[in-house]
């Protein structure tokens, strides 16, 4: 599609070039499948965590092996590891890669190292996924293929697709399912252009409209503040809903997760002191007081993931300790090839 930015140059690819894919996840597997079907030799470089991650019940490394795709597992990227893989025409593509690519690694590809980002860059840069969009009520959808640089998500755009998420999408799982059909078409557009020997226009991102959000982690950041309005709480629960564990809060001293929530307005207003109190338990629903209405909760799970909603009675109170809320706001998850760590 035509991009409303300043044309910088064009980028051409060898129709027989090898693909070196970095990262992991469902989209990387799909890219490997489609590139292989188009006759490309494909190699995947991924971290141990990505390689072991299950996709439709199969570890990524095994799914790739089934396609005849070679897999290199490494915790860190080094020129020495990659130099034998990167031929003079090789195309590199990062799909959820956990590494910040060093300049010497980037230079191996001669400008043909690209990154797939799941928004219409420069809108929603960063790694927060759909959670930030749901919190904001942002239904702009997009996919971007851009030149990978040492600075995250700022490289020139090579290809972009935009769309709108429907109102029926509430949780990250809903958004992901809707985006999947666009992902497949997006990959095919890129691969078809390479097969035709078509040069792709490369354009700058517009910094004046750039938006960035940091990575976020349900276990650390996903805790409800019961001083929020009912609408804000329900949107927060949606944002940390499936495939995540749900929004966190506490019953007495025990952490629980709540999900599948809606706003109730028929019971009128509540005083702030009532916030978090269960005032009705009926037919599998817990009605909880909040500012501006009630929060109707259908799923409550304990630390083991077991459903504990049936054990709750009227008068039970959900609360989140101030120290937990403070940590949720300041803690930053850091993704590495070996897993996630938290920076306080």
DSSP string, 214-277: ----HHHH-B--TTSBHHHHHHHHHHT-TTS--EEEEETTEEEEEEEEEEE-TT----GGGTTB
Q: Mean per-residue pLDDT for 81-96?
A: 93
Identify the pLDDT of residue 2: 44
The answer on pLDDT for 123 being more than 80 is: yes
Mean pLDDT over residues 179-193, rounded? Answer: 97
Rounded mean pLDDT, 52-66: 97
Q: How confident is the model at residue 1 (pLDDT cuts 50, 70, 90)?
A: very low
The pair of three-digit structure tokens given for residue 213, joined into one six-digit string: 């959000």
Of 227, 279, 4, whose CA–CA distance to 120 is shortest? 4
Angstrom distances, CA of residue 83 to CA of 21, 79, 108: 14, 6, 7
Mean pLDDT for the chain overall: 94
- 147 close to 9: Cβ distance less than 8 angstroms: no
Q: Give the 3-state secondary structure of residue 11.
A: strand
Q: Given this model, what pLDDT does residue 200 score?
A: 95
Question: For the whole model, what pTM was predicted?
Answer: 0.92
46 pLDDT higher than 90: yes
Work out the average pLDDT over 82-104: 93
Question: pLDDT > 90: what percent of the chain?
Answer: 88
With beta carbons less than 8 A apart as the criterion, state whether 289 and 329 touch.
no
Mean pLDDT of all residues in 6-27: 90
- Name every residue whose Cβ is closer than 8 Å to that of residue 301 and which is 6 or more positions away in sequence: 245, 246, 256, 257, 259, 307, 308
> Do 291 and 230 touch, CB atoms closer than 8 A?
yes
Mean pLDDT on 310-337:
94
- Nearest CA among 254, 252, 259 for reference residue 276: 252
Alpha-carbon distance values, 162 to 140, 157, 179 (Å)? 8, 13, 10
Contact predicate 37/68, CB 8 Å: no
Q: Tokens 């894919």 identify what position?
A: 21
CA 288/CA 55 separation, integer angstroms: 37
Write the DSSP symbol of residue 88.
Answer: T
Residue 312 clears pLDDT 50, i.e. is over it: yes
All CATH 3.10.25.10 domain ranges in the chain, comma separated: 218-343
- pLDDT for the residue 159: 97
Is the pLDDT reported for residue 5 higher than 60? Answer: no
Q: What are the tens digits of pLDDT across the range 67-80?
A: 999 999 999 999 99
Q: What is the pLDDT averaged over residues 308-320?
A: 94
Q: 251-263: b or e for each residue (b if 16 or more CB lie within 10 Å)?
A: beeeebbbbbbbb
What's the confidence (pLDDT) of residue 339?
A: 87
- Whether residue 44 contacts residue 21, with contact meaning beta carbons closer than 8 Å, is answered with yes
CATH superfamily of 7-213: Formyl transferase, N-terminal domain (3.40.50.170)
More confident residue, 2 or 23: 23
146 band by pLDDT with thresholds 50, 70 and 90: very high
Please report which residue ranges of the chain form alpha helices under DSSP H: 26-37, 48-52, 60-66, 79-82, 103-107, 130-136, 172-195, 218-221, 230-239, 322-330
> Per-residue pLDDT for 248 more than 70?
yes
User: 260 near 286, Cβ under 8 Å?
Assistant: no
The pLDDT score that the predictor gives to residue 129 is 86
Cα 99 to chain centroid distance, Å, stands at 15
Average pLDDT of the residues in 292-296: 97
Architecture of domain 218-343: Roll (3.10)
145/118 Cα distance (integer angstroms): 9
Q: CA-CA distance, 209 to 322, in Å (whole number)?
A: 35
pLDDT tops 80 at residue 6 = no
Rounded mean pLDDT, 221-246: 98
Partners of 282 in the β-ladder = 285
pLDDT given for residue 7 in this prediction: 55
Q: Does the pLDDT at position 254 exceed 90?
A: yes
Q: Please give the structure tokens belonging to residue 265.
A: 């307005």
Q: How crowded is residue 5: how many other Cβ atoms within 10 Å of its Cβ?
A: 16
CA 273 to each of CA 19, 36, 69, 180: distance values in angstroms, whole numbers, following the listed order: 59, 60, 59, 44
CA–centroid distance for 210 within its chain = 18
Residue extent(s) of CATH 3.40.50.170 domains in the chain = 7-213
Q: Mean per-residue pLDDT for 136-145?
A: 97
pLDDT at 127: 86
């Amino acid at each position: 599609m035509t991009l409303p930015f300043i044309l910088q140059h064009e980028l051409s690819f060898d129709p027989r070039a090898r693909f070196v894919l970095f990262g992991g996840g469902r989209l990387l597997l799909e890219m490997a499948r489609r590139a292989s079907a188009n006759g490309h030799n494909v190699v995947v470089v991924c971290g141990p965590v990505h390689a072991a991650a299950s996709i439709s019940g199969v570890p990524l490394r095994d799914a790739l092996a089934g396609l005849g795709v070679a897999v290199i597992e490494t915790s860190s990227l080094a020129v020495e590891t990659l130099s034998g893989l990167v031929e003079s025409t090789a195309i590199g593509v990062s799909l959820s890669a956990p590494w910040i690519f060093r300049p010497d690694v980037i230079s191996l590809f001669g400008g043909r190292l690209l990154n797939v980002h799941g928004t219409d860059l420069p809108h929603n840069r960063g790694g927060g996924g759909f959670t930030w969009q749901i919190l904001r009520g942002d239904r702009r959808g997009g996919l971007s293929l851009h030149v990978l640089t040492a600075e995250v998500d700022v490289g020139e755009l090579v290809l972009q697709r935009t769309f709108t998420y429907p109102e029926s999408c509430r949780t990250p799982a809903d958004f992901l399912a809707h985006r999947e059909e666009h992902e497949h078409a997006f990959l095919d557009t890129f691969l078809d252009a390479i097969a035709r020997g078509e040069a792709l226009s490369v354009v700058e991102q517009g910094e004046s409209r750039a938006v960035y959000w940091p990575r976020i982690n349900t276990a650390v950041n996903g805790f409800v503040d019961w001083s929020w309005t009912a609408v804000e709480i329900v949107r927060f629960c949606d944002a940390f809903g499936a495939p995540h564990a749900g929004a966190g809060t506490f019953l007495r001293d025990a952490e629980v997760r709540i999900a599948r929530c809606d706003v109730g307005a028929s019971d009128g207003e509540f005083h702030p002191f009532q916030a978090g109190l269960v005032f009705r338990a009926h037919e599998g629903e817990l009605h909880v007081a909040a500012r501006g209405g009630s929060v109707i909760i259908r799923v409550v799970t304990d630390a083991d993931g077991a459903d504990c909603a049936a054990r709750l009675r009227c008068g039970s109170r959900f609360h989140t300790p101030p120290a937990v809320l403070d940590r949720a706001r300041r803690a930053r998850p850091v993704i590495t090839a070996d897993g996630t760590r938290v920076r306080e």
